[in-house]
Amino acid sequence: VILFFWQGDKPLKENEKIIYEDESDYNYIQVINEENQIRLVTEGGFGSQSIYSKDRILTDRYYDYFNLLPVLKNIESGNALIIGLASGIVSRQYNEFYPDFELTGYEIDPAIIKVSREYMHLGEQDVDIVEGDGRILLQKEEKKYDLVVIDAYVSEMHIPWHLATQEFFQEVRSHTAKDGLMAMNIIDSSDDKSLLNGFLSTVKSIYPYVYSIPVEKSGNNIIICSNSSLDFQKLSIINDERLQKLFEYSSKNIKEFTEINNDKIFTDNNAPLDILTGEMLIKKL
């Protein structure tokens, strides 16, 4: 039996104020107004935490790393799909740094969409928002995308297994352009990286080239998948100085994943994500 102790009622800091609080079919949602940013928090902080910075675009979190993709693909325009749009951090950044990209965002929770439009300025963004489950929507999708960003793994405590299997990533690849890229963030702060390695083996069974970047000062890991080898020297070509530090760090810390472990591949019939995340959390205690 695994026991988790709820700590969602922690007192707010003096400069924080809850301006929205409600429960949807999928999430317990809070919007917290701070001096320099607005945060959309689910599950009392144990779920996703979306940020709208009032005075800057970059977040200094894993979201920023998705800005590597257009440069690695060497395109300034195209189309991108975001599975797990939430409040639109990734789409906001793409509107800023890559304004010629056509963006589509899938989001399963209509309440998140509504709240993000009202409090997180999502309605000001140039992004086509589609409500529904990412896998089901993808199966109905007719387009192919230059870039696919998966940001649907909200925390270490909850990873939707049907968005983490070999069959799902095969569906993603079938909707990615021949020379397109797929990227996602995986949270794994454990020493053995069993969860991360499971994801790496799973996507490696679908994509010929798989890379990972440990996000600086966090347990997050960016995985980038491609049908062809990527030249990370392209990251030295920076059109915006705000991205310089991020690009330099990424080019130095990128690693290619080559040794697939067939026993670790997640499938629709075997995706023990709850076990892996539970073990990881126990090790933290």
The predicted-structure confidence for 216-256, as pLDDT tens digits, reads as follows: 888 899 999 999 999 998 888 777 999 999 999 999 999 99
Same-domain pairing of 82 and 49? no
CATH number at residue 234: 3.40.50.150
Say if 7 falls within a structural domain.
Answer: no
Do 98 and 140 lie in a common domain? Answer: yes
Q: What average pLDDT does this structure show over 183-200?
A: 91
36 shares its domain with 130: no
Q: How confident is the model at residue 39 (pLDDT cuts 50, 70, 90)?
A: very high
Q: Is 164 within the bounds of a domain? A: yes
pLDDT-based confidence at 148, cuts 50/70/90? very high
Pair (203, 267) in one structural domain: yes
The count of domains in the chain is 2
Give the Cα separation of 201 and 90 in Å (integer). 26
Would you say how long the chain is, in residues?
285
pLDDT average, residue stretch 178-186 = 96
CA distance 128 to 135: 17
Residue 80 inside a domain? The answer is yes
**DSSP state letters, 233-249:** GGGG--S-GGGHHHHHH
Range 150-161 average pLDDT: 81
Tens of pLDDT along 103-135? 999 999 999 999 999 999 999 999 999 999 999
Residues 251 and 124 both lie in one domain: yes
Residues 279 and 183 in one domain: yes
Q: Does one domain contain both 132 and 171? A: yes
* 38 and 90 within one domain: no
Distances, alpha carbon 278 to alpha carbons 154, 158, 190, 265, in Å? 15, 10, 11, 18
Cβ atoms 134, 259 nearer than 8 A: no
pLDDT value, residue 44: 59
- 43 with 72, same domain: the answer is no
How many whole angstroms separate alpha carbon 221 and alpha carbon 201? Answer: 14
Domain that holds residue 203: 62-284
pLDDT digits (tens, 9 = 90+) for 17-28: 999 999 999 989
Clarify whether residues 44 and 134 are in a common domain: no
Looking at residue 2, what is its pLDDT?
Answer: 44
**Residues 173 and 230 occupy one common structural domain:** yes
163 and 279 in one domain?
A: yes
Domain contains 10: no
